[in-house]
Chain A
């Protein structure tokens, strides 16, 4: 079962709100990823967690705060976002952080910042 779930599907928030995106996988994968995708563009890597530890932060602004409470769950906490942060946020997982391993993506959360 290659399934990654994400909640919520859609989120509208104001610039002063605090919200969280949630990602879950039950494939026993030990690597999890957050990507941001703007319309008509490819996904851009934001964060990588390996064995529940943050291993890559692609210079993402601190208003995005990732958290990996356990090997199945990945959260992205949002605070004081800007309208330009509106995008599709995709979560992915793979067996480990290795070049040859395929990443499996969730359906994404469409975020709108007003």
Chain B
């Protein structure tokens, strides 16, 4: 069965610091997809990125970057020069291609990020 672990329950940083959110996953499928979502206090989950299991290229989008390493089953998320608006709960999620879990998102427990001014 698939599983996503976000070991960091809460992280607190000061503005302009860089911060990395860890995500480790378990799956028996060879084809799967990984996602990151942001949930600000307003409640809506905002889609940030999707990565498939065959593409290990790292990705950068502005201050956000993602490091996918199949060898360690990790998909970590780094925010560079953090800002107060980055304060939110961040969820890592996994979707497998096979079996009865087809298309179903398995979420990690989430990491609460607080950025102080």
Contact = CB atoms under 8 A, between A and B. Distances in A.
Interface of A: 2, 31, 40-43, 45, 48, 56, 88, 90, 92, 97-108, 110
| Overall SS of chain A's interface | loop
Contacts of A104: 47
Nearest to A96: B103
Q: Chain B contact residues (Cβ within 8 angstroms of A): what range?
A: 20 to 34
Interface stretch (B27-35, B61-69, B78-86): B27-35
A100 B43 contact: no
Contact of B109 (A42, A48, A99): A42
A100 B44 contact: no
B103 A108 contact: no
A110 B42 CA distance: 11
B43 A110 contact: yes
B44 A105 contact: yes
Contacts, number: 58
Given A41-B109, A42-B110, A45-B104, A100 B45 contact: no
A53 B3 CA distance: 28
B50 A102 contact: yes
A98 B52 CA distance: 13
15 contacts: A31-B103, A42-B108, A42-B109, A43-B45, A48-B104, A56-B104, A90-B44, A90-B45, A99-B31, A101-B103, A102-B47, A105-B46, A107-B43, A107-B44, A110-B43
Contacts of A48: 103-104
A69 B104 CA distance: 23
A100 B95 contact: yes
Given A99-B96, A100-B33, A108 B105 contact: no
A41 B91 CA distance: 10
A93 to B, nearest CB: 11
A39 B100 CA distance: 28
Contacts of B108: 42
Given A42-B91, A99-B33, A108 B44 contact: yes
B102 A99 contact: yes
